[in-house]
């Protein structure tokens, strides 16, 4: 129905400061997605054609969704409302032949009506075929619909698509041709500095944030952790500190008076959470 094509209400606002270790990506995406929406006159007068679509590739939990949400939030903070539509690739597929195509058309119409708009397709590889001939036909029809809709967008770039995927190879080649998703960013797993930054982001609002040395030590131990893993580590450590300080909350259903400041998340809690 019409109800599910409303712009996503980004309830929790995300700023670029909440994203660790990706400043180069943020600047590039500002140039390609954000500035064209905000300053269309500049781009028009210098004949800079912004991309209609960009692809964010990389392992899960590396900040692809986070960056897309931050772009939309930044715009509204700048006083320019940007409509943000978020879809999962697989959700676009539907049981009914033709329904997915209809939904896509409605989504594009809505995004154009409410432009400037960002359409974010998470797991866009979900539009890829499951290899049976019936499935393949359905897939082809959805991909052609998406291509036609993208080709129909005007070149002033007031509707931009961002696709995210963990599997770049699973994306139909036609979607990656010029004028479609023709810019790609491959998000890496965070390195040491990025891990330290991300740990800081997820603990800096704590009443008693960990000391810098501890954060560096943790960053050194967390090789291979993605941003989402680091966030989960902070959460788990905090819960462990809480449990240690207030064991009674686990054994009784009474509500206790908690002194937030008395809970200190220390090295031991992080180490336990890591194992």
Query: Which residues contribute to the site for ligand ATP (CB under 6 A)?
Result: 19-22, 60-66, 122, 164, 166, 198, 201, 227-228, 231
The answer for residues whose C-beta is within 8 angstroms of residue 258's C-beta and 6 or more apart is: 246
Residue 174 Cβ, how far from ligand ATP at the closest point, in Å? 23
Nearer to ligand ATP, 97 or 220 (CB): 220
Asked whether the beta carbons of 56 and 68 are under 8 A apart, the reply is yes
Residue 18 Cβ, how far from ligand ATP at the closest point, in Å? 6
Residue 149: C-alpha distances to residues 114, 136, 141, 214 (Å): 16, 20, 12, 50
Nearer to ligand ATP, 19 or 37 (CB): 19
Nearer to ligand ATP, 51 or 227 (CB): 227
Residue 258 Cβ, how far from ligand ATP at the closest point, in Å? 24
Nearer to ligand ATP, 53 or 157 (CB): 53
Nearest Cα residue to 55 out of 43, 66, 68: 68
Residue 273 Cβ, how far from ligand ATP at the closest point, in Å? 16
Q: Which residue has its beta carbon closest to ligand ATP?
A: 227
The answer for residues whose C-beta is within 8 angstroms of residue 251's C-beta and 6 or more apart is: none
Nearer to ligand ATP, 119 or 138 (CB): 119
Tokens of 240: 């462990």
Nearer to ligand ATP, 149 or 234 (CB): 234
The span from the CA of 68 to the CA of 71, in Å, is 5
The answer for residues whose C-beta is within 8 angstroms of residue 45's C-beta and 6 or more apart is: none
Residue 24 Cβ, how far from ligand ATP at the closest point, in Å? 12
Question: What is the 8-class DSSP label of residue 188?
Answer: P
Residue 91 Cβ, how far from ligand ATP at the closest point, in Å? 13
Tokens of 133: 């001939």
């Amino acid at each position: 129905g019409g109800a599910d094509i409303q712009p996503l209400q980004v309830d929790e606002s995300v700023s670029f400061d909440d994203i660790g270790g990706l400043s180069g990506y943020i600047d590039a995406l500002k140039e390609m997605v954000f500035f064209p929406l905000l300053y269309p006159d500049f781009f028009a007068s210098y004949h800079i054609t912004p991309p209609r679509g960009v692809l964010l590739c990389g392992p899960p939990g590396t900040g692809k969704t986070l960056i897309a949400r931050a772009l939309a939030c930044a715009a509204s903070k700048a006083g320019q409302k940007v409509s943000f539509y978020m879809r999962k690739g697989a959700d676009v597929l539907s049981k009914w032949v033709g329904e997915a195509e209809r939904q896509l058309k409605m989504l594009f119409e809505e995004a154009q009506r409410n432009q400037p708009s960002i359409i974010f397709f998470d797991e866009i590889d979900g539009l890829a075929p499951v290899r049976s001939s019936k499935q393949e036909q359905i897939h082809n029809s959805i991909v052609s619909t998406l291509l036609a809709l993208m080709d129909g967008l005007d070149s002033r770039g007031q509707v931009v698509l961002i696709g995210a995927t963990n599997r770049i190879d699973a994306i139909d080649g036609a979607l990656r041709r010029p004028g479609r998703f023709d810019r790609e960013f491959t998000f890496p797993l965070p390195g040491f500095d990025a891990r330290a930054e991300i740990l800081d982001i997820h603990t800096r609002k704590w009443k008693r944030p960990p000391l810098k040395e501890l954060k560096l030590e943790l960053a050194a131990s967390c090789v291979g952790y993605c941003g989402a893993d680091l966030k989960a580590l902070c959460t788990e450590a905090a819960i462990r500190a809480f449990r240690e300080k207030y064991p009674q909350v686990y054994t009784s259903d009474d509500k206790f008076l908690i002194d937030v400041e008395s809970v200190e998340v220390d090295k031991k809690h992080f180490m336990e959470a890591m194992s």
